[in-house]
């Protein structure tokens, strides 16, 4: 396997989002779950996105995991590594964007690192070093109340400086509008004055294309899927991509087998999607109280599915409306109930696969992460997009044989998402 672009993603769904963006922009891409075993055989690809869960862990743990992933990617030929962060710059003064960027920069031999979470397609823009979310400064957007990483400062130069050991500078929009040479000169000047990381403004995709072209000449960058788009387009433009990626919309090879849906997301979109699914397939709504009080509900769900699955797709959902969720959380605690239900939905996914399911749709970011871990899937090949940000995934190297998955987080997808997903998974 040879690869050009490596990425280390700080969470699983962010990794899928990036892998999907790279595929859409012309790179054959694999997403691995964790750092792959040395003997995992990956197909020939242009880009590998290593998915980690290091967004909100202790900085030292994040640095250690990211450094191991970087060494793995470099050993396989990556000429550039993108540290994929959230487009809302999710972090605290303790990290982890600064400490990880510092460590990867040191490993890559120094030089100022371009840093930008801009992703105009999803309303994330950076101007004068300040991050805007759908036109609102970060500290006035709903992210100011994020439960894990509340963001109270939109000035990313300041935010990154507080969590970095080096000096943080800015590549401003006027410089970027001047083109790649202007950005190169600015970076060189910043580097000469001791700057180790430079927040880069970007308002339009063309800004990210300019930044991608310059970043590609350096060993490391830090950014969201928007910078991934810039890097992918720069790689294609450079003529180094010898085999065209499967055109977006081309299906992965069929896997056959049975099909099922498992839902743990309680978002408004998922609740509508489940209601819509009820019109076309059997849907079992789990009783979370029973699920949390003993093994019977789980066993009953598996037996319910076993009776029906041979005749067509079925859906099993823990999902409930906000009032029901609040009741469960009040009784069992927010974290404890979440983890217990994730454990139940992933056990159901595992049992369904043991009974012959090879096409599996999972709704919910955490729910998907838990299911993928439980199924022990080491990597995914990225297929066509079902809905914005949600591709069909083909498994690589898993014990159960080839499977197709769709992992949908939160509010993604239209009301007919489940039918749309199954119609693209054969
Ligand atoms: P989303 O992508 O919509 O945020 P997640 O899977 O990340 O979905 O999060 C949903 C969380 O809610 C999971 O931890 C899941 O186990 C939990 N959950 C699912 N159903 C219920 C329920 N009925 N009551 C309480 N929590 C639930």
Which ligand 1 atom is the nearest neighbour of the CA of 267? Answer: 3
Which ligand 1 atom is the nearest neighbour of the CA of 318? Answer: 20
Q: In this structure, which residue's CA is closest to atom 22 in ligand 1?
A: 325
Q: Is 264 in the pocket of ligand 1 (CB under 6 A)?
A: yes
Please say whether the beta carbons of 337 and 239 come within 8 A. no
Which ligand 1 atom is the nearest neighbour of the CA of 408? Answer: 2
Q: Which domains does the chain have, with CATH numbers?
A: 5-238 (3.40.50.10840), 258-424 (3.40.980.20)
Give Cα 93 to chain centroid, integer Å: 23
Q: In this structure, which residue's CA is closest to atom 17 in ligand 1?
A: 338
Task: Give the separation between CA 399 and CA 378, rounded to whole angstroms.
Answer: 9
Q: Is 341 in the pocket of ligand 1 (CB under 6 A)?
A: yes
Q: Is 413 in the pocket of ligand 1 (CB under 6 A)?
A: no
Backbone angles phi, psi at 74, to 5 degrees: -65, -40
Q: In this structure, which residue's CA is closest to atom 12 in ligand 1?
A: 338
Instruction: Tell me which residue has tokens 């849907």.
Output: 283
What stretches of 254-389 show up as alpha helix (H) in DSSP? 268-277, 288-293, 296-308, 322-332, 334-354, 365-375
Distances (CA, A) of 420 to 66, 301, 359, 390, 406: 35, 24, 13, 11, 11
Q: Is 169 in the pocket of ligand 1 (CB under 6 A)?
A: no
Please say whether the beta carbons of 317 and 263 come within 8 A. yes
Q: In this structure, which residue's CA is closest to atom 6 in ligand 1?
A: 364
Q: In what order do the strands lie in the sheet with 130-133?
A: 124-127, 130-133, 136-137
DSSP 8-state code for residue 178: T
pTM across the whole model = 0.89
- Residue 329 Cα to ligand 1 middle (Å): 11
- DSSP secondary structure letters along 11-22: SHHHHHHHHHHH
pLDDT of residue 147: 66
Burial 337-363 (b: 16+ CB within 10 A, else e): bbebbbebbbbbbbbbbeeebbbbbbb
Which ligand 1 atom is the nearest neighbour of the CA of 264? Answer: 19
Q: In this structure, which residue's CA is closest to atom 5 in ligand 1?
A: 364
Q: Is 364 in the pocket of ligand 1 (CB under 6 A)?
A: yes
Which of 367, 389, 407 to mutate for ligand 1's pocket (most ligand atoms within 8 Å of CB)?
367
| Backbone Cα Rg of the chain | 22
Instruction: Tell me which residue has tokens 């700080």.
Output: 10
Strands 195-200 and 130-133: unpaired
- Residue 346 Cα to ligand 1 middle (Å): 12
- Residue 366 Cα to ligand 1 middle (Å): 7
Task: Give the separation between CA 347 and CA 356, rounded to whole angstroms.
Answer: 15
- Residue closest to 225 by CA, chosen among 233, 417, 64: 233
Whether omega before 96 lies within 30 degrees of 0, making that bond cis, reads yes
Q: Return the SS3 of 167.
A: strand
Q: Is 397 in the pocket of ligand 1 (CB under 6 A)?
A: no
pLDDT of residue 140: 92
- DSSP secondary structure letters along 40-56: --PPP-SEEEEE---SS
pLDDT of residue 403: 98
Task: Give the separation between CA 160 and CA 184, rounded to whole angstroms.
Answer: 21
Q: Return the SS3 of 94.
A: coil
Please say whether the beta carbons of 359 and 3 come within 8 A. no
Q: Is 313 in the pocket of ligand 1 (CB under 6 A)?
A: no
Q: Is 409 in the pocket of ligand 1 (CB under 6 A)?
A: yes
- Residue 325 Cα to ligand 1 middle (Å): 8
Angle at which helices 225-237 and 205-215 pack, to 10 degrees?
Answer: 70
In DSSP terms, which residues pair with 32 in a beta bridge?
50, 379
Task: Give the separation between CA 414 and CA 411, rounded to whole angstroms.
Answer: 9
Task: Give the separation between CA 383 and CA 179, rounded to whole angstroms.
Answer: 33
Q: Is 16 in the pocket of ligand 1 (CB under 6 A)?
A: no
List, in order, residues 6 or more apart from 375 with CB less than 8 Å away: 346, 349, 350, 353, 398, 400
Q: What is the pLDDT along the chain (426 residues), one digit of tens a residue?
A: 578 999 999 988 889 999 999 999 999 999 999 999 888 888 889 999 999 999 889 999 999 999 999 999 999 999 999 999 999 998 889 999 999 999 999 999 999 999 999 999 989 999 999 999 999 999 998 777 766 677 889 999 999 999 999 999 999 999 999 999 999 999 999 999 999 999 999 999 999 999 999 999 999 999 999 999 999 999 999 998 877 665 544 678 999 999 999 999 998 899 999 999 999 999 999 999 999 998 999 999 999 999 999 999 999 999 999 899 999 999 999 889 999 999 999 999 999 999 999 999 999 988 999 999 999 999 999 998 999 889 999 999 999 999 999 999 877 899 999 999 999 999
Task: Give the separation between CA 182 and CA 254, rounded to whole angstroms.
Answer: 48
Task: Give the separation between CA 421 and CA 386, rounded to whole angstroms.
Answer: 6
Q: Which two tokens stand for residue 136?
A: 């609102």
Q: Is 344 in the pocket of ligand 1 (CB under 6 A)?
A: no
Distances (CA, A) of 213 to 46, 176, 279: 16, 11, 49
Which ligand 1 atom is the nearest neighbour of the CA of 286? Answer: 23
Please say whether the beta carbons of 317 and 325 come within 8 A. no
Q: How many other CB atoms sit within 10 Å of the CB of residue 33? A: 23
Q: Is 265 in the pocket of ligand 1 (CB under 6 A)?
A: yes
- Residue 91 Cα to ligand 1 middle (Å): 22
Q: Is 20 in the pocket of ligand 1 (CB under 6 A)?
A: no
pLDDT of residue 386: 93
Q: Which two tokens stand for residue 141?
A: 């957007």
pLDDT of residue 406: 96
């Amino acid at each position: 396997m040879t690869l050009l672009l490596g990425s280390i993603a700080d969470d699983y769904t962010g990794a899928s989002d990036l892998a999907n963006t790279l595929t859409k922009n012309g790179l054959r891409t694999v997403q691995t779950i964790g750092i792959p075993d040395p003997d995992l055989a990956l197909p020939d690809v242009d880009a590998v996105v290593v998915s980690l869960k290091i967004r909100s862990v202790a900085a030292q743990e994040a640095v250690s995991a990211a450094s191991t992933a970087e060494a793995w990617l470099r050993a396989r030929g990556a000429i550039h590594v993108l540290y994929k962060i959230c487009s809302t710059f999710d972090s605290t003064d303790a990290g982890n964007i600064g400490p990880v960027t510092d460590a990867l920069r040191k490993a890559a031999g120094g030089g100022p690192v371009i840093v930008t979470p801009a992703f105009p397609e999803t309303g994330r823009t950076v101007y004068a070093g300040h991050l805007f979310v759908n036109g609102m400064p970060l500290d006035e957007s709903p992210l100011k109340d994020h439960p894990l990483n509340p963001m109270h400062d939109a000035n990313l130069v300041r935010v990154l400086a507080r969590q970095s050991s080096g000096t943080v500078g800015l590549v401003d929009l006027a410089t970027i509008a001047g083109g790649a040479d202007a950005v190169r000169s600015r970076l060189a000047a910043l580097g000469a004055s001791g700057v180790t990381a430079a927040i880069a403004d970007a308002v339009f995709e063309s800004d990210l294309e300019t930044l991608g072209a310059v970043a590609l000449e350096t060993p490391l960058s830090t950014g969201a899927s928007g910078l991934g788009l810039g890097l992918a387009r720069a790689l294609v433009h450079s003529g180094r991509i010898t085999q065209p990626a499967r055109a977006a919309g081309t299906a992965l090879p069929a896997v056959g087998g049975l099909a099922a849906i498992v839902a743990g997301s309680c978002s408004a979109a998922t609740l509508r999607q489940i209601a819509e699914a009820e019109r076309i397939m059997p849907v079992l709504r789990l009783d979370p109280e029973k699920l949390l009080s003993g093994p019977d509900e789980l066993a009953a769900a598996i037996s319910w599915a076993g009776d029906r699955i041979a005749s067509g797709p079925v859906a099993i959902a823990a999902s409930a409306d906000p009032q029901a969720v609040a009741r469960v959380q009040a009784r069992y605690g927010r974290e404890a109930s979440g983890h217990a239900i994730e454990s139940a939905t992933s056990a159901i996914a595992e049992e369904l696969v043991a009974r012959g399911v090879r096409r599996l749709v999972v709704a919910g970011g955490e729910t998907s992460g838990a299911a993928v871990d439980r199924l022990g899937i080491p990597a995914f090949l990225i297929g066509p997009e079902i809905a914005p940000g949600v591709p069909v995934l083909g498994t690589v190297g898993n014990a159960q044989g080839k499977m197709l998955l769709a992992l949908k987080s939160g509010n993604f997808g239209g009301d007919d998402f489940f039918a749309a997903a199954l119609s693209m998974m054969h």
